[in-house]
Amino acid sequence: MRITVVASECAPFIKTGGLADVVGALPPALNTLGADVSVIIPKYSRIADEHKQRMRHIADFYINLGWRSQYVGVELIEVNGVKWYFIDNEYYFKQDYVYTDGDFETERFCYFCRAVLEMMLMLDLVPDVIHLNDWQTGLIALLLNEQYRVCPAFERTKTVYTIHNLRYQGLMRPQFVNELLSIGQYALSKIEYYSHINAMKAGIVYADTVTTVSPTYAYEITTPMFGETLDGLLTSREGGIAGILNGIDSSSYNPWTDKALASRYSKNSPSGKIKCKAALQEELALNVDPFVPTAAVISRLTNQKGLDLILSVLPGLLDLGMQVVILGMGDRWLEERFGFIANSDYGRGRVAFRCEMNEPLARRVYAGADMFLMPSAFEPCGLSQMIALRYGCVPIVRETGGLVDSVRPYNRFTDEGDGFSFRNYSANELYNACADAVSVYRGDNEAWKRIIKRGMEKDLGWTESAKKYLALYREIDKRY
């Protein structure tokens, strides 16, 4: 089966969030199962030179975008049977950013959607299934059905559309979209959204199958609380929404082989984690103490991720005798507040804040911390809690989205579970969950070790999820 995954980012080439991790890990897992898989993303200027030097130029041509005639270059990297294609146009992708807003953002991804379909025709790369991801690719489903379906090559091509985060929907001016893509009023009316065009809605309306990145989120987005005003549309889709839990790259996130760590360790040889904790405390100027419970936050600093709750409970966590590490960037007021606390006499030695996106440091934090805080307001899937489990860092999460599907709360009576959780978006409930974790950490060391081991033993890789995606592709491929 021939599958093409189309997205706006993909690890290890370019990454701003979890979407890139999924697009980087799912195709190799599908390839292992026997699928013929390729990936298409833009060629951003921020892609590292080490990757650009491996690219091979295979084609160039021009496409019409309204009155514009725009260049399309196609570059290729092939690794272990997976082909990674890059759409090259410096006008649209040479900037020193991945995403922006306004009309230029509209034009960039209208160009990308058109270029993907034209590239498939030009290079005879039309697949059985096109797997689209988030709003940046939603218009491909529309273009395929409204304009390209008349091409014999696309007659049987099906589309899967995955929602990674429903909040970001890609709103555009209708007149401008029509100028660029010549869609026509009928198609525009089907994706209209409060006098705008909604690219996310285009994917939902036109794709053969819609999926999300966890079973719980698939249900949540059909409710008014989490549906971001599209819950009625999602509920009306025949066959419903499929929820397939994301995985992580278990070979990359492996504390036994991770070169970023001060010491390697595993579920059967856990002693190296103690050395990682001491090294982290020293690196971040925390009080070096192997017995103090150290909690970590690695996140975009936004209220969606529950950072307002963490800020509220931080004094209480310090009163419990905890250390707290925060790594991330985001809303300015949160950056300033965490920075102030970390540099104050009150927080010095007990709170560490690094306002940066630093992958090696993130890995050292996972390895060195005892607990991982993720009290999200909503979480489509989340990968951080899975990485934490992999590194023996016990997650404390709110019961929403993929956090419910990946973290099993500890039950002290049955001695089951690999983390701690709470239900409502409440600072008090977050504090109580942290207090419960600290009581086990300090009061029952053997139980804590068992919690860690269960988390590290968990199968968090992509194999099972890839099997579910492949079954989904085969199911829709049979449809006429």
pLDDT at position 18, please?
A: 87
User: 239 pLDDT exceeds 90?
Assistant: no
Considering the domain architecture, whether residues 293 and 325 belong to the same structural domain is answered as: yes
> Per-residue pLDDT tens for 65-75?
999 999 999 99
> Half-sphere exposure of residue 133, counting CA atoms within 13 Å on the CB side?
21
pTM: 0.94
Query: Which residues lie closer than 8 Å to 373 by C-beta, 6 or more apart?
Result: 295, 296, 297, 306, 310, 324, 396, 430, 434
Picking from 79, 74, 75, 87, the residue whose alpha carbon sits closest to that of residue 37 is 79
Q: Is residue 253 included in any domain, yes or no? A: no
Considering the domain architecture, whether residues 235 and 288 belong to the same structural domain is answered as: no
Across the range 19-46, mean pLDDT stands at 96
Considering the domain architecture, whether residues 237 and 282 belong to the same structural domain is answered as: no
Considering the domain architecture, whether residues 215 and 283 belong to the same structural domain is answered as: no
Q: Is residue 266 included in any domain, yes or no? A: no
> Per-residue pLDDT tens for 402-457?
999 999 999 999 999 999 999 999 999 999 999 999 999 999 999 999 999 999 99
Considering the domain architecture, whether residues 51 and 176 belong to the same structural domain is answered as: yes
Residue type at position 306: G
Across the range 113-142, mean pLDDT stands at 98
Q: Is residue 267 included in any domain, yes or no? A: no
pLDDT band at 256 (very low <50, low <70, confident <90, very high): very high
Q: Is residue 261 included in any domain, yes or no? A: no
Residue written as token pair 């039309």 = 126
pLDDT at position 310, please?
A: 97
Considering the domain architecture, whether residues 11 and 70 belong to the same structural domain is answered as: yes
pLDDT at position 7, please?
A: 98
pLDDT at position 478, please?
A: 86
- CA angle 478/141/165 to nearest 5° reads 105
Considering the domain architecture, whether residues 41 and 89 belong to the same structural domain is answered as: yes
Supply φ then ψ for residue 35, to 5 degrees. Answer: -80, 150
User: 337 pLDDT exceeds 70?
Assistant: yes
Torsion 357-406-378-17 (CA) sign: positive
Considering the domain architecture, whether residues 95 and 31 belong to the same structural domain is answered as: yes
* Range(s) of the domain holding residue 120: 2-247+463-477
User: 37 pLDDT exceeds 80?
Assistant: yes
Q: Is residue 262 included in any domain, yes or no? A: no
> Per-residue pLDDT tens for 268-296?
999 999 999 999 999 999 999 999 999 99
Q: Is residue 320 included in any domain, yes or no? A: yes
pLDDT at position 376, please?
A: 97
Q: Is residue 177 included in any domain, yes or no? A: yes
Residue written as token pair 């040889």 = 269
pLDDT at position 181, please?
A: 97
Across the range 323-342, mean pLDDT stands at 96
Considering the domain architecture, whether residues 182 and 289 belong to the same structural domain is answered as: no
Considering the domain architecture, whether residues 177 and 153 belong to the same structural domain is answered as: yes
- The CATH number given to whatever domain includes residue 66 is 3.40.50.2000
User: 360 pLDDT exceeds 80?
Assistant: yes
pLDDT band at 480 (very low <50, low <70, confident <90, very high): low
Q: Number of folded domains in the chain? A: 2
Considering the domain architecture, whether residues 354 and 391 belong to the same structural domain is answered as: yes
> Half-sphere exposure of residue 167, counting CA atoms within 13 Å on the CB side?
7
How far the first Cα of the chain sits from its last, in Å, is 16
Q: Which residues of 68-95 are buried (b: 16+ CB within 10 A; e: fewer)?
A: eebebbbbbbeeeebbbbbbbbeebbee
Looking only at the bridges linking them, the beta strands covering 82-88 and 68-79 are antiparallel
Q: Is residue 314 included in any domain, yes or no? A: yes
Torsion 220-332-339-384 (CA) sign: positive
Considering the domain architecture, whether residues 45 and 185 belong to the same structural domain is answered as: yes
State the greatest distance between any 2 C-alpha atoms of the chain, in Å, as a whole number.
71
User: Which three-class secondary structure state does DSSP give residue 336?
Assistant: helix
pLDDT at position 420, please?
A: 98
